[in-house]
Structure 1
Amino acid sequence: MNEDREVLKLVGARIRALRKERGYSQESLGEKGGFHFSYIGQIERGEKNVSLVNLAKIAESLDVNLIQLFAYVEEQFHFTESEIVIQEIVAMLREASPDSIHLVKNVIREILK
């Protein structure tokens, strides 16, 4: 049962981090997803066992893929340092322009030759 609560807290913390990165309040995120701001707060504190359907709505409201709500797993599964760096690079690329992404691809291709 304690492990269940830990998962809820990790997902909630991830949602809070993504919300804050985007400059959303709990109220604005709730409005985007069709939820009351207090429900968002309960999710972020790990107090609510949120359904997959609601998680999908929250992910859409945050403009992320559903899988990104579970990015906390690196802490739980002890990814290697290289895997964590790759995740960080991917996160940066998600925010980059198409031209920047193309440039990064070419640089990486040259480095790995």
Structure 2
Amino acid sequence: MDDRKILKLVGARIKVLRKEKGLSQEALGEKGGFHFTYIGQIERGEKNVALINLGKIAEALEVNVSQLFAYVSDEIEFTETDIMIQEIVDMLREASSNKIRLSRNIIRELLNESKDD
């Protein structure tokens, strides 16, 4: 993959997550300890951001670092549904096996109910 492309993909993903959280570049910068111009440069793919800084950005966005890499293509916009599904997956990754089983059963029941409607 072209170096610039991965920077743009990660930057675009950060921008999508930031907007979903209702944060400005300035607000995200404040939460993460960065200047807002640095956030803008990252979002435009102009900066090769360090892993430590990606961790700080993820923390400021209240997401797992893996979500910053959850892009599919630079041509695909992430829908609100895509982001909610990813949030559910992230929550399940941190849950106990008992809670995962319970969640699976609840989801099955909800989806089965909707088929009956």
TM-score normalised per structure 1: 0.71
**C-alpha displacement at 1:92, in angstroms?**
5.3
Q: Which residue of 2 aligns with 1:75?
A: 73
Cα RMSD after superposing both structures: 3.1
Q: Which amino acid aligns with 2:25?
A: Q
Post-superposition offset of 1:6? 0.4
Residue identity opposite 1:64 in structure 2? V
Distance, in Å, in 2 between the alignment partners of 1:59 and 1:105 is: 27
Once the two structures are superposed, residues 50-94 of structure 1 have per-residue CA deviations (whole angstroms, 9 ceiling, x without a partner) of 00000000000000011110001x338xxxxxxxxxx76732536
Residue equivalent to 1:8: 7
Q: Are the structure 2 counterparts of residues 102 and 23 from structure 1 closer, same or farther at C-alpha, using a change threshold of 3 Å?
A: farther
Structure 2, gaps ≥5 residues long: 75-81, 92-99, 112-117
Count matched residues. Answer: 96
Q: 1:37-48 to 2 correspondence within 5 Å?
A: 37-48=36-47
Partner-residue secondary structure (3-state), 1:46: coil
The code of the aligned residue for 1:54 comes to N
Instruction: Name the residue aligned to 2:22.
Output: 23
- Is residue 28–residue 61 contact of structure 2 (8 Å, CA) maintained in 1? yes
Paired amino acid for 1:22: K
Tell me the percent identity: 63
Q: Which runs of 5+ in 1 are unaligned?
A: 77-86
TM-score, scaled relative to structure 2: 0.68
Q: Following TM superposition, by how much is the alpha carbon of 1:103 offset from its aligned partner in structure 2, in angstroms?
A: 7.0
Letter in 2 for 1:91: Q
Distance 2:54 2:46 in 1: 14
